Amino acid sequence: MLNHIGSGFRRVVGVLALGSGALLPATAQAQLTWVDWQAPVAGQAPNTLFGTMNIGGTMVGVTYTGPAAFFQTGGEFNYWRQGGTSAGIPWEAYDAVDAPVASDMIALSAPGLHTLTFSQSLSGMFMAFVSIGQPNSPVNYSFLNGSFDIVDQGRGFWGNGPLLSSLGGTMLTGLEGHGVIQFREDFTTLQFATDPNEFWHGFNVGANAVTVTPEPGSMVLLATGLIGVLGLAKRRRDRVTSGV
C-alpha cells in the first residue's frame, strides 16, 4: 500500500511539473538576428555604442563599452559578404550560419577589456569575427564569464587562417582567423579581454533565442501546488500507518 501511495505521489508531481512547464525558464526561438548598431550621437559617452536585436518580435537592447578602434553602423564596406563568391553571398567562414547581412561591426585594435550588456537574457548567442590576428602574429580573445564552440571558420576577406580554441573553450586565438563561435551559457552581460595589439580585427554578435523567465506570481502558484500535493500524500501515509 505504501508503495502504491508513493508511486501515485510521483505521478501527481510529474503531472504537475509537466503542466507547469511554461513556468520554468525556457527559450523563445526565432531566426538568427545580428546586432543593428546605431551611429553615435552628440554627447554620447566615448568608447560606448548602442544597438538592438529584434528576436522574434522581442526587442533586445545592446550596449558595448571598451577601447574600440572604430565602429561600422551601416552603409560601410561589408566584410561579411562583399567580395565573396558572388554578390550578397557570405564568405565561407560564415556560410554555416545565417551570416550578418549589414556591414555592422565593432573593430578592435589595442589590448583591453570589452563588455557587452543585453536588456534580455540571450541563450546560445553567436559571435562572428573578421581577421583576428595575422599568420605570424596571433591575437587572443579571453572570455571571462563564458565558454564557446567554434561553429564555422574558413576563408574570409583577408585570408584563410585558423581560429583555435583553448582553456576549455574560454580563449579564442586567431591567426588571420575568420569565423563564428556559439556560447554555451545564457548572458545578460559578456566580458572579454583582447591581446595583443593589432591593426584591427572586427566582430558582431547575434542570437536567435531569448531566455524566458517565469513571472514571480507564477512561481508562487507552482510552489503552492507542490505544497498541497505534499500535504495530501502525508495525510494518506498517516492513514495507512494508523490503519484507518
What digits encode the pLDDT tens for the residues 25-69?
A: 555 557 899 999 999 999 999 899 999 999 999 999 999 999 999
124 and 109, same structural domain?
yes
Confidence of residue 5 (pLDDT cuts 50, 70, 90): very low
Domain that residue 8 falls in = 2-19+217-242
- pTM value > 0.85: no
160 and 92, same structural domain?
yes
Rounded to 5 degrees, φ, ψ at 52 are -140, 155
Q: 219, 166 in Cβ contact below 8 A?
A: no
Mean of the per-residue pLDDT values of the chain: 83
- pLDDT (mean) for 162-189: 98
201 and 180, same structural domain?
yes
11 and 97, same structural domain?
no
169 and 127, same structural domain?
yes
- Tell me which residue has cell 505504501: 2
Q: Is the pLDDT of residue 86 over 90?
A: no
Counting the structural domains of the chain, the total is 2
User: What's the pLDDT at 80?
Assistant: 94
116 and 12, same structural domain?
no
154 and 73, same structural domain?
yes
User: What's the pLDDT at 31?
Assistant: 87
Q: Residue 84 corresponds to which cell in the numbers above?
A: 565573396
Residue 191 and residue 132: Cα distance in Å, rounded?
17
222 and 118, same structural domain?
no
Q: 141, 217 in Cβ contact below 8 A?
A: no
135 and 81, same structural domain?
yes
Q: Please state the length of the chain.
A: 244
E strand residue ranges, the chain:
26-34, 36-37, 48-55, 58-65, 68-72, 105-108, 112-123, 126-132, 139-143, 148-153, 163-166, 171-174, 177-183, 186-195, 201-212
Write out pLDDT tens, residues 133-158: 999 999 999 999 999 999 999 999 99
User: What's the pLDDT at 30?
Assistant: 72
6 and 51, same structural domain?
no
User: What's the pLDDT at 234?
Assistant: 53
93 and 37, same structural domain?
yes
Helix axis angle for 2-19 and 216-242, nearest 10°, is 170
62 and 135, same structural domain?
yes
